[in-house]
Chain A
Amino acid sequence: MYHFITGPLLWVSFAIFFIGTLTHVVLYVKNLDWELDRVSYGAHTLWGIRGALRSICLWMTPYGTRSWRIKPLYTFMFYLFHVGGVLVPLFLSAHGVILKSRWGISLPTLPGFVADLLTVGVMIAVVGLSIRRCIRPEVRALTSGREIGTLIIAVAPFFTGFMAYHQIGGGNFWTLAHILSGEMLLVAVPFTKLSHMVLFFCSRAQIGMDFGIKRGGMKSVGMPC
Chain B
Amino acid sequence: MPEGIFCNKQPVETKERLHEVLGDKGGAKYYKEMESLEVDVPALKALLKTSCKSRLKTWLNGCMRCGLCADSCFLYIANDKDYRQVPSYKIQTTLGELVAKNGEVDTKFMIHCMDVAWSQCTCCNRCAIYCPMGIDVGVMFSYLRGILFSQGFIPWEMKIGSGMHRVYRAQMDVTSEEWVDTCEWMAEETEEEWPGLTIPVDKKNADIIYTVNAREPKHYPEDLAHAAILFHLAGENWTVPSEGWEETSLAMFAGDWKAAKMQVESVYAAIDRLKPKRMVVTECGHAYRATVTEGPYWAGIKDGKPPVESLHYVEWVAEALRTGKLKIDPAKKIKEPVTYQDSCNYIRNAGLADDVRYIMSQIAEDFREMIPNREYNYCCGGGGGLNGIGRYRKERNVGLTVKRDQILATEAKLVITPCHNCWDAIRDLEEVYHIGIRWSFLKPLLVDMVLVPEHLKHLEA
Chain A residues close to B by CB (< 8 Å): 27-40, 42-44, 55, 59, 66-67, 70-71, 74, 78, 136-144, 147, 193, 195-196, 199-200, 202-204, 206-208, 210, 213-225
Q: How far is the CA of A196 from the CA of B135 in the complex (A)?
A: 12
Report whether B54 and A27 are in contact in the complex, using a CB–CB cutoff of 8 Å.
Answer: yes
Report whether B134 and A206 are in contact in the complex, using a CB–CB cutoff of 8 Å.
Answer: yes
Of all chain A residues, which has the CB nearest B294?
A38
Report whether A193 and B53 are in contact in the complex, using a CB–CB cutoff of 8 Å.
Answer: no
Of all chain A residues, which has the CB nearest B55?
A37
Q: How far is the CA of A195 from the CA of B58 in the complex (A)?
A: 10
Contact string, B74-98, partner A, CB cutoff 8 A, digits 1/0? Answer: 0010000101101011001000000
Report whether A202 and B375 are in contact in the complex, using a CB–CB cutoff of 8 Å.
Answer: no
Q: Assess A32 versus B66: contact at CB under 8 Å? Given A196-B133, A215-B350, A225-B129.
A: no
Of all chain A residues, which has the CB nearest B135?
A203
Query: Within 8 Å of chain A (Cβ to Cβ): is B154?
Result: no
Query: Within 8 Å of chain A (Cβ to Cβ): is B351?
Result: yes
Query: Within 8 Å of chain A (Cβ to Cβ): is B70?
Result: yes
Q: Give 10 closest A-B pairs by Cβ, nearest first.
A: A216-B351, A220-B351, A207-B134, A40-B304, A31-B54, A141-B83, A142-B65, A139-B67, A224-B375, A38-B297
Query: Within 8 Å of chain A (Cβ to Cβ): is B157?
Result: no
Q: Assess A142 versus B129: contact at CB under 8 Å? Given A193-B61, A202-B58.
A: no
Report whether A30 and B54 are in contact in the complex, using a CB–CB cutoff of 8 Å.
Answer: yes
Contact string, B40-56, partner A, CB cutoff 8 A, digits 1/0? Answer: 00000000000101110
| Chain A binding surface, main DSSP class | helix
Report whether B61 and A219 are in contact in the complex, using a CB–CB cutoff of 8 Å.
Answer: no
A190 to chain B, nearest CB (A): 12
Q: Assess A40 versus B302: contact at CB under 8 Å? Given A28-B54, A74-B68, A193-B61.
A: yes
B76 to chain A, nearest CB (A): 7
Q: How far is the CA of A199 from the CA of B63 in the complex (A)?
A: 11
Query: What are the residues of chain A within 8 A of B70 when measuring CB–CB?
Result: 138-139
Contact of B304 among A29, A67, A213, A220 (CB under 8 A): A213
Q: How far is the CA of A222 from the CA of B134 in the complex (A)?
A: 14
Report whether A204 and B134 are in contact in the complex, using a CB–CB cutoff of 8 Å.
Answer: yes
Q: Assess A143 versus B81: contact at CB under 8 Å? Given A67-B130, A219-B350.
A: no
A156 to chain B, nearest CB (A): 18
Report whether A207 and B136 are in contact in the complex, using a CB–CB cutoff of 8 Å.
Answer: yes
Query: What are the residues of chain A within 8 A of B303 when measuring CB–CB?
Result: 40, 43-44
Report whether A215 and B349 are in contact in the complex, using a CB–CB cutoff of 8 Å.
Answer: yes
Report whether A216 and B62 are in contact in the complex, using a CB–CB cutoff of 8 Å.
Answer: no
Query: What are the residues of chain B within 8 A of A35 when measuring CB–CB?
Result: 297, 300
Chain B residues close to A by CB (< 8 Å): 51, 53-55, 58-59, 61-68, 70-72, 76, 81, 83-84, 86, 88-89, 92, 128-136, 293-294, 297-298, 300, 302-305, 348-354, 374-376
Report whether B62 and A224 are in contact in the complex, using a CB–CB cutoff of 8 Å.
Answer: no
Report whether A142 and B62 are in contact in the complex, using a CB–CB cutoff of 8 Å.
Answer: no
Of all chain A residues, which has the CB nearest B136?
A207
A128 to chain B, nearest CB (A): 13
Residue among B92, B303, B304, B354 with max Cβ neighbours from chain A (10 Å): B304
Of all chain A residues, which has the CB nearest B298?
A38
Residue among B62, B70, B134 with max Cβ neighbours from chain A (10 Å): B134
Residue among B66, B89, B349, B374 with max Cβ neighbours from chain A (10 Å): B66
Q: Assess A139 versus B65: contact at CB under 8 Å? Given A27-B54, A31-B53.
A: yes
- Chosen A-B contacts, 12 in total, with CB atoms closer than 8 Å, are A28-B54, A29-B54, A31-B54, A32-B53, A40-B297, A42-B302, A66-B129, A139-B66, A139-B70, A206-B55, A219-B351, A220-B352
Q: How far is the CA of A204 from the CA of B131 in the complex (A)?
A: 10
Report whether B55 and A216 are in contact in the complex, using a CB–CB cutoff of 8 Å.
Answer: no
Query: What are the residues of chain A within 8 A of B348 when measuring CB–CB?
Result: 215-216, 224
Contact of B64 among A66, A193, A214, A215 (CB under 8 A): A193
Contact of B293 among A43, A71, A215 (CB under 8 A): A215
Report whether B351 and A199 are in contact in the complex, using a CB–CB cutoff of 8 Å.
Answer: no
A28 to chain B, nearest CB (A): 5
Report whether A147 and B65 are in contact in the complex, using a CB–CB cutoff of 8 Å.
Answer: yes
Report whether B64 and A33 are in contact in the complex, using a CB–CB cutoff of 8 Å.
Answer: no
Q: How far is the CA of A206 from the CA of B53 in the complex (A)?
A: 13
Residue among B58, B61, B130, B136 with max Cβ neighbours from chain A (10 Å): B58
Report whether B62 and A207 are in contact in the complex, using a CB–CB cutoff of 8 Å.
Answer: no
A23 to chain B, nearest CB (A): 12
Q: How far is the CA of A216 from the CA of B62 in the complex (A)?
A: 25
